[in-house]
Structure 1
Amino acid sequence: MKRLSIAAVLAAALLTLLSPFPATAQAAAPPDPRPITGQQIIHDPTVIRLRSGGYAAYSTGGVIGARLSKDGRHWDDAGNAFAEPPSWWYEYNDTGDPWAPDISYRAGRYWLYYAVSSWGTNHSAIGVATSRTGLPGTWTDHGKVLTSGTTDSWNAIDPALVEADGRLWMSFGSYWTGIRMVELNPATGRATPDPTVHHLATRPDAPYAVEGPYIVRHGRHYYLFASYDACCAGVESTYRIKVGRATTITGPYVDSAGTPMLEGGGDLLLEGHGRYVGTGGQSVFRDRGRDWLAYHYYDAEDEGTPKLGLNRLVWTENGWPEVV
């Protein structure tokens, strides 16, 4: 009996080692962000590798807050994109407070899109500025790109640019039925008068808490990343990042199960874990052939302070993104 018991134990152990799906296997925890030093405080980051070398990050806060880094690991506070708010910003709030910028490089210039609005209203506008260097203090503002009003069913905030088949597009949106898209004039960077407003993603439950879109192309697909649930509440924030994809820029975007993002679909890409609460406000940037996800999280070990999260973005054999 003793010999049989030992043999049975050894056989069971061998089967466990050989099995591709052990009975005790658990889903891997979300990865922590890359360790960084210096000025870590940020909200709604947009990051770019500058053509002159190093990195720039712009964000909600200040007059579009700026951070600079030589290596992507140590970040320094670099003031603001603007010395003071352009006067037209005050049409949308009393403090001239801009939100959620997006930086890109096109046609020999850096383009900085941003939103101005007030909490809880869709009386909002998206503006644009340009710079030859992309550095803070060098931006020239060019005014409004797109606006929304209280009679609209969408909200003109959280802009993000993407080029597709030689045309320029801007995704945007927050609550008010979710994520939208318009085509821009590549010469001016603005929307045409009365543009067609495409609908990309929403959810079936009011108040339709999906915002902060960002679209990238990989292979033959366009991938829509968006933030779901609640931001801006410190450690009580429930932000998480979901993704879907489409073969055409205007959709339909679907998740890996085929559920349209217009019907509440979307694969979970990253959610809060441990000290890293409320991951969202994301953007994607490319650096020397690699894709990176930039986002903010609320640090549960630092009274919910919003900080910069950076993770490599890799692609599975089936063409879906994963953070590592």
Structure 2
Amino acid sequence: MQGAKADSRDRLARVLHTLRMHSTFYCHAELREPWALEMPAVADSVSFHVVTAGSCRLHLPDAEPIALCAGDLALVPHGRGHELLSSPEAGPATRVDLLPQRYLSEHYSVLRHGGSGRSAQLICGVVSFDDPAARELMRTLPSILFIGGDTVSAASSVRDTLRLMASELSHPQPGGEAVATRLADILVVQAIRAWLATGLDTSTGWLRALQDERIGQALEAIHADPSHAWNLDRLARVATMSRSAFSARFTTLVGETPISYLARWRMNLAQSRLLRENITAARLATDLGYQSEAAFNRAFTRIIGRTPGSIRRQQQ
């Protein structure tokens, strides 16, 4: 049993080790009451907010407001729009991307906004991801992930990263944006680790499946060699289960059949490569184990909702 637990931790550690984010935008906000900001929805992204001075409230539709104080960190993992306010009486929120601000680079700005009351300072960021493991992991997270600066779960490593990021973004230097990008990656991973350490319920979903003694082995086999000619029998053998028992347990934990998951994982890999590389659909079809480009294109369009060619043209 101890060996199984170690294996599940190792699988999770490998996912966290390879988790890569792409920084989209950072903002150092200097705000005075009253103020209210609307953060627009950004698909496939994680927003984070660090309060370095003062306090504010975070509002997400259909969720209870969260009070944030200096040293607190909040992540909104699912790309959902939300609001930051100085108080419930702050008035209607203004979209933050429509406000005048000083752009120090294409990906970093300083925003000064509000009235003449008490001040608050925040570091806000949006990081996106195209890695399939990151997408799956983000789907398992709660609508808001909060780490209080005064709680045990906010390990010293998180606080150290927050201090480094505050320093980099408050005093821009050559190469500072690259440093802040790496720190954002680290911060998100540390926040997820802190959330996992709380022992919150992960009885279902991809994260629980990854840590399952048998289903986790099948998932890792798919991730390690997605182009292999996997079928239900081969995956069941990897999990050392009968075909029917494996299919039932996989579907219960992951929320879809093994073959459906395999197809979606392959298409997410293909989408990621189309976004990063100058690659053809024919090459992707070969790399991902499809017999023809036409079969790959049909699967990609059905699962992603767009053709491979449309994504290539967008990137170009």
**The TM-score by the shorter chain falls in which range?**
under 0.3
TM-score (norm 1): 0.22
Instruction: Return the structure number with greater strand share.
Output: 1
TM-score (norm 2): 0.23
Q: Flag the structure with more relative contact order, 1 or 2, with Cα contacts below 8 A and sequence separation at least 6.
A: 2
Instruction: Return the structure number with greater helix share.
Output: 2
